[in-house]
Amino acid sequence: MNVAFLTTECFPYVKTGGLADVSGSLPKALQKLGCDMKVFLPLYDTIKTIDNGLYVNEEFKDIPVQVGDNTFTFNFWEGTLPDSDVTVYFIDCPHYFHRGKPYTDDKDEDERFIFFQIACLETMQRLKWSPAIINCNDWQTGLIPSYIKFNYNWDELFKNTRTILSIHNIGYQGRFAPSTLQKAGLNYDNFYPEGPYELDSAFSFLKAGIWFADLLTTVSPNYAKEIQTEEYGAGLEGVLQMRSKDLYGILNGIDVDIWNPEKDIYIPYNYSADKVDAKYKIKKHLIKEAGFKYDENIPVIGLITRLTGQKGLDLIMPVFHELMQLPIYMMVLGSGEKKYEEFIERAADAYTDKFIEYVGYNNELSHLITAAADMFLMPSLYEPCGLNQMYSLRYGTVPIVRKTGGLADTVHDYHEHNNEGNGFSFEDAQPYVLLETVKRALHVYQDKKEWKKIMLRGMKADFSWDKSAKEYYDIYENLVK
Ligand code: ADP
């Protein structure tokens, strides 16, 4: 079964969030199940062709794509996802993709991803490669179902092609002026209030995908339910309810080779559920590096995140000083909105002996903090799946989360009276509820034996792609039938 996986970020080439981890690992797992996977990705200027062993396809060059009144050409490069035989095609158009980062606020953001989508289909045509499935991801590829249905339906190559749109975050909808329809080469007939392309008078790529894809997936069972409600649907709950029977919630897996405390190359000591002591050596190491005084009875709380409203920073800020009166160290790694970056910088200035922040994006440090911390804080207002809590569980780092989206599917609240629970969770999006939950975790932390049991429950759980990739495989197969 030929499957094209269209994505705008993919680890290890380019990453801003969880989509990159999924794109770098799910296709590998599906390939093992027997799919012939091909990943398509823009060649951003941050992706180094030589370092990544990419080579340009010499047979087809300077392929033209018209976006509105402009025509630009592209070449495509080929590479292989590390430790696999999954081919990745990189769409190379410097005009659109040399911007220093994947996503921008530039005026032609719509054109950039219209170009990408058309270029992917043009590449398949040049290669005479007929996909049974095109798995689109997020708004940047939301027009593909329309293209397959309307603009490319003349081509036998796509005669049997079915489309799937995977929604990784309903908050990003690709909203543009209605005039973008012309640039996209799509029919205005489908642009009317509440219609396929219209959302609050704008043209939404995501809505177009939700409307026209043959099937929809999202990244956890709970989020699949949530996005059909007004509270979480971000205006798209109506169309999602309409497509309810075609919407599947499949929990993301994690790359258990990369995120494996036994083999992790970024941590100074490796450990496992059977030999968990080395974890404390890493904690000591990082605490010393941070310049704090080490006390083994004081837990480290880690926080690694894009600094956006979604991640619940507004629940932390109002109780931050109370939080800092508790016997904890905090290590925060993040980048994003200025107000949150400034907040963590001020926090570090105020609590030099127990709070340390790293503003920026740092993959190595994210592994180190995940391993060193005793607890991981993730108070998201909404969380489609969330990967960090799964990484933390695997590293014996007990998550403290708000019970929403995929966090609710993966973190089970500890309760002293039953032998269950791999973390601590709370429902109300209230700062003092967060504070109380941290206190509850600290209280249990004093009971070393009990704490270890909680850690081990997390470390022994299976978050690999094995089960979830099979679910993707099954829906691909049903769709093709
Ligand atoms: P989202 O996709 O909403 O950002 P996820 O939890 O699904 O959230 O995935 C986030 C991914 O990005 C994780 O792999 C996390 O470790 C990583 N990440 C986020 N911020 C940083 C950072 N500042 N430095 C390194 N890795 C980060």
* CATH number of 340's domain: 3.40.50.2000
pLDDT band at 311 (very low <50, low <70, confident <90, very high): very high
441 located within any domain: yes
Q: Supply the pLDDT for residue 419.
A: 79
How far, rounded to the nearest angstrom, does the alpha carbon of residue 51 sit from its chain's CA centroid?
24
204 located within any domain: yes
| Closest atom, ligand 1, to C-alpha of 311 | 3
Are 315 and 244 contained in the same domain? no
Q: Supply the pLDDT for residue 418.
A: 79
Are 291 and 225 contained in the same domain? no
Q: Supply the pLDDT for residue 417.
A: 82
Exposed e or buried b for every residue in 203-221, given b needs 16+ CB within 10 A? Answer: bbbbbbbbbbbbbbbbbbb
Q: Supply the pLDDT for residue 454.
A: 97
Task: State the DSSP code for 294.
Answer: P
Domain hosting 381: range is: 277-462
Cα 358 to ligand 1 centroid, rounded to whole Å: 14
Q: Supply the pLDDT for residue 477.
A: 97
| Closest atom, ligand 1, to C-alpha of 358 | 23
Q: Residue 34 pLDDT more than 90?
A: yes
Minimal CA–CA distance to 144: which of 167, 121, 126? 121
pLDDT (average), residues 152-157: 98
Cα 386 to ligand 1 centroid, rounded to whole Å: 8
Q: Which helix (H) or strand (E) holds 67?
A: strand 63-67
Strand blocks (E) in 343-442: 355-359, 375-378, 398-402, 424-426
Q: Supply the pLDDT for residue 238.
A: 98
266 located within any domain: no
Give 117-162 as a DSSP string.
Answer: HHHHHHHHHHHT---SEEEEESGGGTTHHHIIIIISTT-GGGTT-E
What's the alpha-carbon Rg for the chain, to the nearest Å?
A: 23
Are 81 and 201 contained in the same domain? yes
pLDDT (average), residues 435-446: 98
Asked if residues 248 and 225 have their Cβ atoms less than 8 Å apart, the reply is no
Q: pTM score, two decimals?
A: 0.93
230 located within any domain: yes
342 located within any domain: yes
Asked if residues 442 and 465 have their Cβ atoms less than 8 Å apart, the reply is no
Are 180 and 315 contained in the same domain? no
Provide the sign of the torsion angle of the four alpha carbons 167, 169, 170, 173, taken in this order. Answer: negative
pLDDT tens-digit readout, 157-204: 999 999 999 999 999 999 999 999 999 999 999 999 999 999 999 999
Ligand 1 contacts (CB < 6 A) are 17-18, 21, 304-306, 333-335, 361-363, 366, 385-388
pLDDT (average), residues 222-229: 98
Are 160 and 292 contained in the same domain? no
Give burial (CB, 10 Å; 0-12/13-18/19+) of 352.
exposed
Asked if residues 353 and 292 have their Cβ atoms less than 8 Å apart, the reply is yes
pLDDT (average), residues 300-314: 97
Are 331 and 433 contained in the same domain? yes
Instruction: Report how many domains make up the chain.
Output: 2
Q: Supply the pLDDT for residue 416.
A: 81
Q: What are phi and psi of 469, to 5 degrees?
A: -60, -35
